[in-house]
Structure 1
Amino acid sequence: MRPEPRTQPLTVVIIDDTPDLRDLLRIALTRGGFEVVGEAGDGAQGIDAVRLHRPDVVLLDLAMPVKDGIEALPSIRRLCPQAKIVVLSGFGAQQMSARAVAAGADGYVQKGAPLNTILDYVRDIAGDARRPVRGLTVVPASDPDPAVPHADLLDAPSEVAGAAAGAGGRGVASGPGPDAGPVVPEGAASAFEVLRMAPYGVVEVADEPMFRVVHVNPVGARLVGTDTPGTPLSAVAPELAALVSFHRLDADATFETSVPGGRVKASLRRTGWSVIVYLDSTAEDVGLLRRAIATTAHEVRGPVAVLCGIAETLSWEGGEGVTPEQNQRLLGSVARQARILDRITADLLTTAQIQRGTLRVDVQDVDPRVVVQGAVDDRWDVDVVVDDSRKVRADPLRLEQMVTNLLSNAHKYGAEPYTVHVRPHGAQVAIDVVDHGDGVPPEFAGRLFSEFARAQGAVATGTGLGLYVVRTLAQAQGGAVTYAPLPEGGSVFTITLPAA
């Protein structure tokens, strides 16, 4: 990948909350003939960077703290109406990317794609090319949206289904016929293509006495026992059919019922001529496990994408094009991303040990200051305050795992400044991890430390295991962990352990 000569390089602002990925993109874009004039780690900072630099191209991540990409996009578009905005899509997040395109982005690329491919795509977008790039999903914002009878999908109860409908429901054929199928402009993503990937059952039935199936996604087919259009719902899921009939005129009906695939929570939405039935089996263990696998895969994909990008960068021309300073930064990125993967796998292993009853802790006298400093060094910009010099009775490796999980949680969901405060707490020593973000939604606070728990609508991703692991490890060492909101805004997670 050799730089192309340009008398006036196109300018770029990169907005992503992963510094290592920003660094990789900066190297690739610079080598490709672009000039990176600004970077930002969240949507609010990104708006400021765009206002300052007025770039030709904006690379915009979607899942970021403070202000996510979807929220920032309208402001960026108003500030730079002529700029090309390319959304950086996480693994399996096509529905959110399609929402971004509908909100004004020019296209999107998946983060895990090779850097060469991303660079080629950005070149095409910057050159106003309107053709798909091999290996990427391209949705030009100028594609016309046909009239869609599924517009009520925007009211879907699940974030996945809602996001899919937010893609515009583009390309879904009109008319209630059971043979109706998606008619999708080339290069566009239809709502039902997106819904095929949803971890929810989605069944559309004609609004008539037989409630014949019109569309069903794979999860819905497994739950109700059919993927054949025209099948009467009562023939495969009679209890569900009866409840759909009873609630069909309700504005916002939600109920639990049994289907061939097990017990589910069902929600109804009406279109002009049909009823959309959303089926969520998350009340069952299999549904919970399904979500855990999906979110864990997403968590692993990010570090893997960065590591692959570093390997690709170092392979360019034998690595001769990478300066010693860049090489040092890339090596630091490898260490950071490897630690992230280690933390994820450690949480998965700890959870498995908890479930099997094989969890073991090696309790000894430990200096919490040393453990905290080890967890903070070369990872985050965190103030460490020590007001208690006593040692604690703890497993040093488990204590570092707990502190690291709380710091990771603060950086995902909170905001700076971040502080770790070691202080006395009677016969115990308390370790506070403090951030100054929005805090935990009150309705979610009671489930914070539950297994696989994640707040509804949370932008940041996660396995939902971090706080569960912290609580279990604290209890196994004779301690506890608690949460409290800060009066001025933010969160305080406190680990208390017996003093030695």
Structure 2
Amino acid sequence: MNLNISAAAPAPRVVVIDDTDDLRQLLSLALTRGGFEIVAEAGDGRAGIETVREHRPDVVLLDLAMPVMDGIEALPAIRRLVPTAKIIVLSGFGAQQMSARAVAVGADGYVQKGAPLPSILDYVRTVCDAPAGRSGRTLGVVPAAGAVSSDRVEPAAEVDPGERPAGGNEALALAPLGIMELADEPLFRILTVNAVAQRLLGSARPGSPLAVSAPELASMVSYHRLDADASFEVELEGGRALATLRRTGRSVLVYLDSAREDVGVLRRAISTAAQQVRGPVAVLSAIAETLAADDGTDPTRRSADRDSWVGAVVRQTRALDCITADLLTAAQIQRGTLRVEVVDVDAGAVARRVAAEHDRSVDTGSATGAPHGVVVTVEDGRTVRADPARLAQVLRTLLSNALQHGGDPVELRVRMDDQHPDRVVLDVVDHGPGVAADLVERVFTEFTRGKEGASGGTGLGLYIVRSLVRAMGGDATCGTAAGGGAVFSLHLPTAPAA
């Protein structure tokens, strides 16, 4: 008897490399149900290279924007390790921006995050079926450039009269330009300074010499102090601005217009925010599609997955909330309308509450099952003067950064300030690679990121941290922990003794 039975082709073996645990899990679930075998996962490019070296997969899904080593850097090494594998890159960037670059360094295809899971699955199959050496089309989620259908701009929200500053010069406080009044003397002491000027100068305080916060501007003011009408461009901590001088009887008025720089700031904010929003949206969309496609025939699987999906929804919704909070706060800082409500606050209680939000010691969403948590130590129980909601926002930013870019364990300490006994310090300490020496001095400036295009937020988080803490009468600093990781410290004034 002649049995002509051909063995079924083995399932293609896949490695998924992406720094978002929830997205890795959903991609792995979709691919597994679609007939692929997930052999391993990794959360950054360097770990991805070692994972590919160990497992030699047939297919690699590779995120482009990741910490430690991004996908563009890792891609050539992965291609050398598995020359016949199909490598498909994932990114929040538009396909027109990144696909050509990815293909040029060895990718076989490009998927823009946010595409429906069934479409991604079909696309992976198409790329796998394509002849060797031929790249697949890109899979995007947005229309081609030029397809914008509306240029409508919403009007700016009006300021609530109840939120306007009491007393003082309200016109000065709400002016869209930076305005300073300087004493007409060699030191040019700052007499008054509005919020926009403070943003541009960084650390300008009434009573301090202008040269302390803006030496270039102080030099130019000195040069033009006797001119009847002088205008010049100057580089400040918050960006380049056009400075215009006017004299009064006893002082010098300085107007700072950063409108041109603000256009660049807006463009960068739109670009980085669009990329960061797309990741959580992609995860939430994938969860919705997975739930809709589940026919309920396997109740065991459905029950096992439910807690994981709920945890993913909570985390990604929180990520979206943080992004929008960053953008709204940055806009308030830019316009000079940032407000804080300073009251007596139990810093230890806020620290414990925010740390509990980041507790993943029982991880329901990580495909690796790696524990993440925050160790809280309260050495100083004094109350501080702060805005509790803003303090929580600041701690969320610092803890998210530490958990994403640092190493376990992450510590949150509340202690007395060694240099200023009337202050309490909240330290966020990680055990990762630390902050590079060339970044320490500018890590709190807008759009400063460890690596161009690296994953990890809008580039506004630490800028907002310092701005908020200074608005509450304190300061934020960055340093190196004893074990070599990063330590970010919030120095807050204590509440007066009763």
Opposite residue 107 of structure 1, the aligned amino acid is: G
Identity of aligned residues (%): 57
Question: Quick one: distance in 2 between partners of 1:100 and 1:345?
Answer: 29
Q: Indicate whether 1:423 and 2:402 are aligned.
A: no
Task: Say which SS state the counterpart of residue 284 (structure 1) adopts.
Answer: helix
Q: Indicate whether 1:465 and 2:460 are aligned.
A: yes
Opposite residue 386 of structure 1, the aligned amino acid is: T
Q: Indicate whether 1:315 and 2:292 are aligned.
A: yes
Match of 1:148 in 2: none
Give how far 1:402 is off: 0.2
Q: How does 1:410-449 map to 2 (within 5 A)?
A: 410-425=402-417, 426-449=421-444
Match of 1:260 in 2: none
Match of 1:111 in 2: 113
Q: Please give the per-residue CA displacement for 1:264-300, whole angstroms capped at 9, x wherever unaligned.
A: 9xxxxxxxxxxxxxxxx99722122111111111111
Q: How does 1:242-281 map to 2 (within 5 A)?
A: none
Q: Indicate whether 1:376 and 2:378 are aligned.
A: no
Gaps of 5+ in 2: 1-6, 146-232, 234-239, 242-257, 361-371
Question: Quick one: distance in 2 between partners of 1:131 and 1:375?
Answer: 46
Match of 2:187 in 1: none
Question: Quick one: distance in 2 between partners of 1:133 and 1:81?
Answer: 20
Q: 1:408 aligns with which of 400, 415, 427?
A: 400
2:53 touches 2:81 (CA, 8 Å); kept in 1?
A: yes
Opposite residue 371 of structure 1, the aligned amino acid is: V
Match of 2:126 in 1: 124
Match of 1:223 in 2: none
Q: Please give the per-residue CA displacement for 1:162-194, whole angstroms capped at 9, x wherever unaligned.
A: xxxxxxxxxxxxxxxxxxxxxxxxxxxxxxx99
Q: Which has the higher contact order (CA 8 A, sep 6+)?
A: 2
Q: Indicate whether 1:15 and 2:7 are aligned.
A: no
Task: Say which SS state the counterpart of residue 66 (structure 1) adopts.
Answer: coil
Give how far 1:64 is off: 0.9
2:108 touches 2:136 (CA, 8 Å); kept in 1?
A: no
Gaps of 5+ in 1: 138-192, 195-255, 257-262, 265-280
Match of 2:343 in 1: 364
- Higher alpha-carbon deviation: 94-103 or 54-63: 94-103
Opposite residue 293 of structure 1, the aligned amino acid is: I
Opposite residue 462 of structure 1, the aligned amino acid is: G
Q: Indicate whether 1:386 and 2:377 are aligned.
A: yes
Match of 2:327 in 1: 348
Opposite residue 419 of structure 1, the aligned amino acid is: E
Match of 2:268 in 1: 291
Q: Please give the per-residue CA displacement for 1:369-421, whole angstroms capped at 9, x wherever unaligned.
A: 33223323353523324141413332222111001111233345444443222
**RMSD in angstroms over aligned alpha carbons?**
3.3
Match of 2:478 in 1: 483
Match of 2:365 in 1: none
Task: Say which SS state the counterpart of residue 447 (structure 1) adopts.
Answer: coil
Instruction: Pick closer, same or farther for the CA change 1:94–1:487 going to 2, 3 Å.
Output: farther
1:414 touches 1:490 (CA, 8 Å); kept in 2?
A: yes
Instruction: Pick closer, same or farther for the CA change 1:47–1:135 going to 2, 3 Å.
Output: closer
Q: 1:336 aligns with which of 308, 311, 315?
A: 315
Task: Say which SS state the counterpart of residue 455 (structure 2) adopts.
Answer: coil
1:66 touches 1:415 (CA, 8 Å); kept in 2?
A: no
In the comparison of the two structures, how many residue pairs are matched?
A: 361
Opposite residue 83 of structure 2, the aligned amino acid is: P
Task: Say which SS state the counterpart of residue 463 (structure 2) adopts.
Answer: helix
Question: Quick one: distance in 2 between partners of 1:456 and 1:282?
Answer: 27
Opposite residue 350 of structure 1, the aligned amino acid is: T
Question: Quick one: distance in 1 between partners of 2:109 and 2:122?
Answer: 13
Question: Quick one: distance in 2 between partners of 1:6 and 1:387?
Answer: 61
Q: How does 1:20-419 map to 2 (within 5 A)?
A: 20-92=22-94, 94-128=96-130, 132=136, 135-136=139-140, 284-318=261-295, 323-377=302-356, 379=358, 381-390=372-381, 391-419=383-411
Question: Quick one: distance in 2 between partners of 1:491 and 1:339?
Answer: 24
Opposite residue 405 of structure 1, the aligned amino acid is: T
Give how far 1:17 is off: 0.3
Question: Quick one: distance in 1 between partners of 2:460 and 2:413?
Answer: 24
Question: Quick one: distance in 2 between partners of 1:42 and 1:72?
Answer: 9
2:329 touches 2:464 (CA, 8 Å); kept in 1?
A: yes
1:479 touches 1:497 (CA, 8 Å); kept in 2?
A: yes
1:417 touches 1:435 (CA, 8 Å); kept in 2?
A: yes
Task: Say which SS state the counterpart of residue 93 (structure 2) adopts.
Answer: coil
2:44 touches 2:66 (CA, 8 Å); kept in 1?
A: yes
The structure with more radius of gyration: 2
